[in-house]
Amino acid sequence: MSDKHLGKGSKNPPLSKGKLRLYSMRFDPYSQRVHLVLDAKKIPYDVVNVNLTEKPEWLYEKSPLGKVPTLELESGDCIYESMIIADYLDEKYPQRQLYPKDPLKKAKDKLLIDQFNKVISNLYRLYQNMDREFLDAVMKALDVFEREIVSRSKPFFGGDKPGMLDYMIWPWCERSEMLKIMGGDQFVLPRERFLRLMEWRNAMKEEESVKVSYLEPEIHAKYINSHRAGYADYDLLLKIN
Amino acid sequence: MNEKHLGKGSTNPPLSKGKLRLYSMRFCPYAQRAHLVLDAKKIPHDVVNIKLSDKPDWYFERNPLGKVPAIEMESGDCIYESLIIADYLDEKYPQRLLHPKDPIQKAKDRILVEHFSKIPTNVYKLFHGSDIDPLDDILTDLDLFEKELTLRATRFFGGDVPGMLDYVIWPWFERIDAFKIVAPEKFVIPSERYKKLNGKKQ
């Protein structure tokens, strides 16, 4: 999954028999959502990483706007949008159902996933501008999640194991520790305010399904800084190993 | 459903036994999505209209965002966001399933709904004026739907009867004729370009 990101003029590797094909970018949190679902459900797939600054021409045949993540089936059908892919996988592959069985619980989890968009948009503002004001906005949006995990009294939002809600918000939570690297000690989330969420974060890091795609905060910070400097270093992992 | 819209200082009518409560606004296209699904599946429900320019305080206990539509169940649980409500109803009430049975077809229909989501914003701009003329964007987006309906070669996107995709996009098509009355010079949709979609409207 850390292979070279293919760009303009490249060839799309042929599909592998018996496997789904995921078009991805190693540091993209939306693509990571799909990795997490595939890994949690142990669905066989291969990965083609895509250079998002110099998109290969063939990508537009898979996804009209050339977006990642995009999932290609052996039939040649392609679907995109991380939530649509995640929902499709949970419906098509019944092993380890990630959404709650109860339609009402599922609807409430979807509402929370929707609400997490407030955390995401404020995080992006924060990355652009390491300002206390934006950190406050992130924390305000995160408060509802601390309240929710406290009220559920289980290690994960999904119960004893992570469920769809856990996985859909994880990519940004994985990246939260890089804020300290980027902006200094004042950009650490206060323990007292997010006690249970921090326990949840540690529990998620122990999960096999999360370990597959997990990257350390230093790596995330390195990537984000390259992006901010104007040259997104997609293949930085290849240089380290 | 044509009842007075309740505003500040009003009281929320008590829930009716055996019925879902839909909080709505008579002219809101997003709320209409919920009405369409409830009516298609013949789910018993009553309606309380909300005055969106002067929202009653009790409404924020149902939807903290204060938006319509919202559904309240006899248990007191509330859900909101038109697409989340639509999905919930289709899962909870299996009579006349609106989403396609096949997961890939369902995913493809949802992608079309994503594409459609630009149209309401652009139609709003058309109505209320904006710096950039959105008509071309609207027509390009509609092209995709005309192409898709032609490909499916059925009366509705859902087949012989309307399905979820039909209902989710319908509220804006219903309003197209209204736009012709309000702003005829701005809104001329070439009907030859949209033969299939026009047939569907009939």
pLDDT digits (tens, 9 = 90+) for B104-156: 999 999 999 998 988 888 877 877 777 777 878 888 888 888 889 889 988 89
Residues of chain A with CATH 3.40.30.10: 20-96+232-238
CB contact under 8 A, B104 and A107: no
Interface test mutation site (partner A, options B20, B74, B81, B112, max chain A beta carbons within 10 A): B81
Interface test mutation site (partner A, options B92, B93, B98, B165, max chain A beta carbons within 10 A): B92
Contact assessment for residue A137 and residue A125, using Cβ atoms and an 8 Å cutoff: yes
* pTM of this structure: 0.93
- Write out chain A residues lying below 8 Å of B91, CB-based: 103, 106
> Which residue in chain A is spatially nearest to B93 when comparing CA positions?
A103
> CATH assignment of A103-206?
1.20.1050.10
Q: Given A73, A79, A107, which is nearest B111 (Cβ)? A: A79
Contact assessment for residue A78 and residue A66, using Cβ atoms and an 8 Å cutoff: no
Residues of B with catalytic annotation? Answer: 28
Alpha carbon of A102: minimum distance to chain B alpha carbons (Å): 8
CATH class of A20-96+232-238: alpha beta
Q: How far apart are CA B30 and CA B41, in angstroms?
A: 18
pLDDT digits (tens, 9 = 90+) for B54-105: 999 999 999 999 999 999 999 999 999 999 999 999 999 999 999 999 999 9
CB contact under 8 A, A91 and B73: no
- Write out chain A residues lying below 8 Å of B88, CB-based: 103-104, 106-107
Tell me what ipTM this predicted complex has: 0.92
Residues of chain A with CATH 1.20.1050.10: 103-206
Task: Give the pLDDT of residue A155.
Answer: 97
pLDDT digits (tens, 9 = 90+) for A170-206: 999 999 989 999 888 889 999 999 999 999 999 999 9
Q: Given B79, B107, B114, which is nearest A107 (Cβ)? A: B79
Q: Which helix (H) or strand (E) holds B88?
A: helix B82-92
